[in-house]
Amino acid sequence: MPKTNNIAVIPGDGTGPEVVNEGIKVLNAISGKSGFKLSFNYFDFGGDRYLKTGEVLPDNATDELKKYDAIYLGAIGHPDVKPGILEKGILLRLRFELDQYINLRPVKLYPGVDCPLKDKGPEHIDFVVVRENTEGLYAGSGGFLKKGTEDEVAIQESINTRKGIERCIRYAFKYCKKRNKNKKLTLCGKTNVLTYAFDLWERTFNEIAKEYPDITSDYAHVDAITMWFIKNPEWFDVIVTDNMFGDIITDLGAMIQGGMGIAAGGNINPEGVSMFEPIGGSAPKYKGKNVINPLAAICAAGLMLEHLGEEQAGREVEEAVMKVTASHLKSLAAGQMGMTTTEVGDLVAKYVT
Ligand code: IPM
Ligand code: MN
C-alpha cells in the first residue's frame, strides 16, 4: 500500500483559494504519476469566517491540525478586517503553537524570469534564507506605559533564547550540508548595535560551526546584506537570521527572484507539523479574476512534497515550473502573464505528468 499523506488545506483570503486550487491540481497530477497518495481536508480559517462568526481561530484548531502530515496555506489578510488581527490570530498563532521554528525561503531566479538586477541571471541568484520563526521581535513581548497621554511609552522587546537560536542555527548548518552547493552559511545580524541579541547569536553560531568544518561560515550585517543582495547575490548559499531581519530580507529576495508571484516558503517544525505557503499575501484586488500568478503556491506545494519525503516529486514540480517560466509566461505579474491562473496550473500539471 502506498503511503497516504494527509494534508490540511487552509485556502484563506483573497486570491488564496485560487492559487491553492492550482497547487492541488499539480499535486494530484504528480501523485497520480508517482504512486504516492495525498488526501486533502479543508479548513475555512480566514477573514470571511471571522467576519461571520467573530472567531479568528477555534481553540481546537492547532490540536486538529497536529493530526495532519502537513498544512498547505493560501493567504491570510482581508480588506474588511483591521490589519494585524488575522495575521497575528491565524498565521503567527499557527507558527507559534505548532512550534514551526524555521521559516525556509528559497531565493532562486528561474530561467526566463525578468530580474530587476542588471547583468544577473539564474547562475547568480540561488540561495536559501533560514529565518528563525518563533522568537525575536515577533514574540509579542512588550507593552504600553501611560498609553494615550503625552508621556506615552511603547516597548517592543526582542526575545532571543539560547535554545531557540541553537535549534535554528543547527537546522541551517544541516540544511547547508544537505544542499551541498557552495557549502557556505552566512549569519545575518547586527552585532555592532544589537550587542546582546546578536552577541548570543554569534557565539552560538561560532560554537556550532566547529561541528561543521566542511562548511565555510561567514557573517554579514543586515544592512550590508541588503546591499550585497543587489550587488553580489552570487555570494550567498544559505543565510541564517532572526525573525525580523528574515522577514525583511526575504521580501528583497523575492524581488530579485522575480517578485511575489514566484516566492514560496515553508514554516517548518522538523519534529512536528509544517506549513507551506506562497509568501505574497492575499492580493484582494485580484480576487476572483483568474489573473493571479499561482506559481508561488505551486512552488510551495513542491517544497511540501520535498518535506514529506517525496523529494523526486518535489524536484519535478520545480522543473515543470522552470519550463513554464522559460517558455510560456510573458511576465510573473498578476494580469500580465499572458495566461490565466487556471491555464498556468494546467500547464504545470501537464509538465509533471
Ligand atoms: C511573512 C509575512 C508575515 C510576517 C505577516 C503577514 C505577519 O510578512 O510571512 O513574511 O511578518 O512574518
Ligand atoms: Mn514578510
pLDDT higher than threshold 90 for residue 5 = yes
DSSP 232-245: -GGG-SEEEE-HHH
Tell the burial category of 252 from Cβ atoms under 10 Å away from its Cβ (0-12, 13-18, 19+). Answer: middle
pLDDT of residue 198: 98
pLDDT of residue 284: 96
Mean pLDDT of the chain: 97
pLDDT higher than threshold 80 for residue 2 = no
Question: Which residue in 32, 239, 279, 10 sits closest to 126, CA to CA?
Answer: 239
Determine the atom of ligand 1 nearest the C-alpha atom of 247: 10
pLDDT higher than threshold 90 for residue 98 = yes
pLDDT of residue 35: 87
User: Strands 126-132 and 37-42, how do they pair?
Assistant: unpaired
Cβ of residue 65 lying under 6 Å from some atom of ligand 1? no
Q: How far apart are CA 294 and CA 283, in angstroms?
A: 12
Contact (CB, 8 A) for 66 and 98: yes
| Mean pLDDT computed over 126-143 | 98
Contacts of 297 (CB under 8 A, 6+ apart): 19, 20, 22, 23, 74, 264, 277, 278
Cβ of residue 13 lying under 6 Å from some atom of ligand 1? no
Mutate to test the pocket of ligand 1, among 86, 92, 268 (most ligand atoms within 8 A of CB): 92
Tell me the CA–centroid distance for residue 50 and ligand 1, in Å: 19
Cβ of residue 75 lying under 6 Å from some atom of ligand 1? no
Tell me the CA–centroid distance for residue 209 and ligand 1, in Å: 29
Ligand nearest to the CA of 76: 1
Which residue blocks in the chain are alpha helix, DSSP H? 16-34, 47-53, 61-65, 85-86, 93-97, 162-179, 197-209, 222-231, 243-256, 295-307, 311-327, 341-352
Give the tens place of pLDDT for each residue, 326-340: 999 999 999 999 999
Determine the atom of ligand 1 nearest the C-alpha atom of 133: 12
| Mean pLDDT computed over 238-257 | 98
Give the 3-state secondary structure of residue 25.
Answer: helix
| Mean pLDDT computed over 230-236 | 98
pLDDT of residue 1: 67
| Mean pLDDT computed over 184-210 | 98
pLDDT of residue 3: 81
Percent of the chain with pLDDT over 90: 98
Give the tens place of pLDDT for each residue, 27-73: 999 998 888 999 999 999 999 999 999 999 999 999 999 999 999 99
Question: Which residue in 276, 306, 243 sits closest to 65, CA to CA?
Answer: 276
> Dihedral angle at the C-alpha atoms of 161, 164, 168, 169, nearest 10 degrees?
40
Q: How far apart are CA 70 and CA 271, in angstroms?
A: 12
Contact (CB, 8 A) for 30 and 352: yes
Ion ligand 2: residue ranges with CB closer than 5 A: 247
Tell me the CA–centroid distance for residue 240 and ligand 2, in Å: 16
Mutate to test the pocket of ligand 1, among 92, 245, 247 (most ligand atoms within 8 A of CB): 247
Cβ of residue 166 lying under 6 Å from some atom of ligand 1? no
Per-residue DSSP letter, 335: T
Percent of the chain with pLDDT over 70: 100
- Give residue 18's pLDDT band: very low, low, confident or very high (50, 70, 90): very high
The pTM (predicted TM-score) of the whole model is 0.97
